[in-house]
Structure 1
Amino acid sequence: MAIKTVAHINLRGNARAALEFYQSVFGGDLVAVSYRDAHSVEDPDQADQLSWGQVTSSSGFQIMAYDVQSSKLWDQGSNAFFVSVRGTDAKEIEDYWGRLSADATISAPLAPAAWSPLYGMLTDQFGVTWVLDVAVEYNH
């Protein structure tokens, strides 16, 4: 049996916009299922919000997101999680960084680090913190 771990982002009212943005950054296919589509509308004003969505690209990128309904508690918190994008091609990481950094707050500019030829951290316009780096073998 094989498994994989996929980041699933919980947002409030802007999951579709976030997934559309991530698709513009990483490419791939977007699937979006609204509460209306899923026949699970609690509040008519939220019928077109996402009960589930994902972006999947041929490069291996995958992320899921949904809109937490207003009837449920939700607090994005501080530093609750980071989404890490690791690759072996510096140009590919630079390209993702260039697109992902639109309207973002940069915590660490994309630059060489002691553990990686390129490393950077930013918080995007949706409040999600991303870490991008070029992966290298770890020597004990």
Structure 2
Amino acid sequence: MKLNPYLSFNDECEAAFKFYEQCLGGKIDSMMTYGESPMAEQTPPEKLDKIMHASLIVGDTVLMGSDAPPQMFEKPQGFSVSLLFTDPVEAERIFDALAENGTVQMPLQETFWASRFGMLVDRFGTPWMINCDLPA
């Protein structure tokens, strides 16, 4: 079994996934608009260029997402996408990139369990936790 996060966006999926691709060093594997899908005829014209499904490969993990259908978007709550690092410099780089134009909930700092830990909500509304292991 594999567990992959699936994120919903309010018409910002394409921008978010392009940002995540660059920020996380991944590769967008697929990105289909509603207009390219078999549901094109049932989609309002203003939504045809919005993303029906996207997938981003980061290492051995796949992050997936889409723009929520009209009137179906709900603000993300009750979860975070958690990233685990072994290199504090890389953890800081990713935290800073995701935090740009977002909201830092807990600054990246040393804790009793981690050399770095921080929480934020990025500019697209996705909650993240950045954790960097203590040295062995």
Tell me, yes or no, if structure 1 residue 69 matches structure 2 residue 69: yes
- How far off is 1:104 after superposition? 1.3
Q: Which amino acid aligns with 2:119?
A: M
Tell me, yes or no, if structure 1 residue 110 matches structure 2 residue 77: no
CA contact (8 A) 2:20 2:26 kept: no
Corresponding residue for 2:4? 6
Corresponding residue for 2:34? 35
TM-score normalised according to structure 2 size: 0.88
- How far off is 1:88 after superposition? 1.6
CA contact (8 A) 2:84 2:133 kept: yes
Corresponding residue for 1:97? 95
Q: Which structure: greater helix fraction?
A: 2
Corresponding residue for 1:23? 21
The root-mean-square deviation of aligned C-alpha atoms, in Å, is 1.8
Q: Match of 1:10, SS?
A: strand
Corresponding residue for 2:52? 51
CA distance in 1, matches of 2:61, 2:91: 12
Q: Which amino acid aligns with 1:130?
A: W
Q: Which amino acid aligns with 2:56?
A: V
Aligned residue pairs, count: 132
Identity over the aligned pairs, expressed in percent?
23
CA distance in 2, matches of 1:29, 1:76: 26
Q: Which runs of 5+ in 1 are unaligned?
A: none
CA distance in 2, matches of 1:73, 1:32: 20
CA distance in 1, matches of 2:96, 2:22: 11
CA distance in 2, matches of 1:35, 1:13: 11
CA shift in 2, pair 1:89/1:61, >3 Å: farther
Q: Which amino acid aligns with 1:100?
A: L
Runs of 4+ with >2 A deviation: 59-62
- How far off is 1:73 after superposition? 2.7
CA contact (8 A) 1:26 1:61 kept: no
CA contact (8 A) 1:118 1:133 kept: yes
CA distance in 2, matches of 1:33, 1:136: 40
TM-score normalised according to structure 1 size: 0.85
CA distance in 2, matches of 1:80, 1:124: 15
